[in-house]
Amino acid sequence: MQLRLCGRGPHNRYVPHTPIAHQPRDSQDVCRIREQDPYFAGTLAKGLMILQCFVSDPRPHANSELARRLGLPRPTVSRLCRSLQTMGYLDHDERLDRYFVGPAAVALGYPYVINTPLLGPLRLPMQALADRVKGAVSVGVVMDLDVVYLDTCAWEGGTLKRPGVGAVRGVLETAMGRAGLAQLDAGELQRFLDRVRSQRPEEYARCRDNASESLAHYAARGFAVNMGDSGLGVCAVGAASRIRYGSRRLLFNCAVPGLRMPARTLIRDVGPQLAQLVALCDRLPVDR
């Protein structure tokens, strides 16, 4: 159970707080969470949900699109977008009459990335592994139903698309996400899968069987496997470190072009090398 500072009354005091089960996706979620937690700031959540829309769909959006997607009144969206624009988190294209993400949103992520534990000392071995397998090695964390990439080292001689800092992929469709799922107990895992099935039925149907196989063999292998479920022609292995960044584990991913490497080679050669990298990560001292 976490503790949170409450500002009500003559004295600030800590009150017990149960974390929200998942991020709100629309106005109905905001109302439901507001009923559960009287300290939940609904207006702030609505503004942040507008920014979240650009994560899954990065193109410029009109107020009407955002209002329809979030189930919010258009005047409310207009006020929130104007406020976010004033703060630099959105920019407005007058010609298109659409909003897109502003520079303040990029700057906000910078402190998180530079404070990620062990990124500096791990870049050299991450690059070495990427060069050996002619692929890309990434580190990330889970955010709700997704993983967020915090850094990637890629083989410069290849054409494998490098996941940039801040890139988002579904937990269920990535090897590092599956490695994170392998750390959950049975009840937590089932609740997570139920949410994916409800909120992202296509992703669940596409990834369910291969993800189940990967999770079933994680303990014996020491890594998770993704044989192209992301639909990008890329296969990968993933492993979870014991290093935590706040409440989240650092997860590692090693991806290679699927047409160049058969599954048996990925499991026999690449997976153990990634597991060794993560073991190195777990042995390094972390400044707290």
State pLDDT tens for residues 17-27: 334 346 776 67
pLDDT over threshold 50, residue 203: yes
Q: What is the mean pLDDT of residues 4-11?
A: 37
On average, the pLDDT of the chain sits at 86
Res 232: pLDDT: 66
Distance between CA atoms of residues 195 and 215, nearest Å: 17
pLDDT of residue 281: 93
> In the structure encoding, which two tokens stand for residue 18, read together?
């149960």
Q: Is the pLDDT of residue 288 over 70?
A: no
Give the pLDDT band (50/70/90) at residue 161.
low
Higher-confidence residue: 249 or 263?
249
DSSP H helices, the chain, are 27-36, 42-56, 63-70, 74-86, 103-114, 119-133, 175-181, 186-199, 201-216, 218-221, 263-265, 271-283
Q: The dihedral of CA 225, 239, 250, 142: what is its sign? A: positive
Q: Which of 34-48, 73-87, 102-116, 117-131 has the lowest mean pLDDT?
A: 34-48
- Specify the 3-state DSSP secondary structure of 146: strand
Instruction: Provide, rounded to the nearest whole percent, the portion of the chain with pLDDT above 90.
Output: 66
Angle value at C-alpha 260, between 255 and 262, nearest 5 degrees:
85
Residue 96 tokens, joined: 């298109």
pLDDT (0 to 100) of residue 160: 63
Question: Residue 10 pLDDT > 60, yes or no?
Answer: no
Residue 1 clears pLDDT 90, i.e. is over it: no
pTM: 0.82
85-99, 163-177, 251-265: which range is least confident on average? 251-265
Q: Which residue bears the tokens 């990029």?
A: 106
Determine the average pLDDT of the residues in 78-84.
95
Q: What was the pLDDT predicted at 196?
A: 95
Predicted local distance difference test score (pLDDT) of residue 221:
95
User: What mean pLDDT comes out for the span 123-136?
Assistant: 94
Q: For the residues 142-167, what does the mean pLDDT come to?
A: 85
* Average pLDDT over every residue of 105-120: 91
- Positive or negative, the CA dihedral 121, 125, 131, 134 is negative
Helix or strand (DSSP H, E) at 223:
none
What gap in Å lies between CA 257 and CA 234, rounded to an integer? 5
**Tens of pLDDT, residues 30-77:** 788 778 888 888 888 899 999 989 988 889 999 999 999 999 999 999
Structural domains in the chain, sorted by start: 2-107 (1.10.10.10), 115-283 (3.30.450.40)
pLDDT tens, position by position, 181-201 = 999 999 999 999 999 999 999
